[in-house]
Structure 1
Amino acid sequence: MSQLIRLKDIQSNHRDLIGDDYFDPTGKNAYGAGEEKIGNVEGALVEEATARIRYLIVDAGGWFSSKEVLVPAGLARIVGDDVFFDSLTKAQVEAMEEYDHDYNYSYEEQTKKDRAAFVADTVPEQERVELKEDYYNAPNMLELLEERLTVNKDRIVAGLVSVGKHVVTEDRKVDVDLEEEHAHIERTDVNRRTDRKIGDDAGADSIQVELEAERARVGKETYVTEEINVGKTTEHHTQTIHETIQREELDVDHDGNVVDREGNIVNRDDITADDVRAARGK
Structure 2
Amino acid sequence: MALYKIKDFDPDYRDHFEGHDIKGMDLYSGDQKIGSVNDVLVDEEGRFRYLIINTGAWIFGKQVMLPIGRARIDYSDNHVYADGLTKQQVEALPEFTEDLKIDYDQEEQVRNVYRPTAATATTGLEAPLESSAALNSPVPVDGTAYTGSSMGATTAPTYDRDTYNYDYDADLYAIDDTKHPSLKLYQERLVANKTRAKTGEVAIGKRVETETARVSVPVEKERVVIERSTPTSGTITPDATAFQEGEVARVEVYEETPDIHKEAFVREEVTVKKVVEQDTVTAEEQIRREELDVDTQGRPVVEGDAAKRKKI
TM-score of the two chains, using structure 2 as the length reference? 0.40
Tell me which of the two structures has the higher relative contact order, counting C-alpha pairs closer than 8 angstroms and 6 or more residues apart. Answer: 1
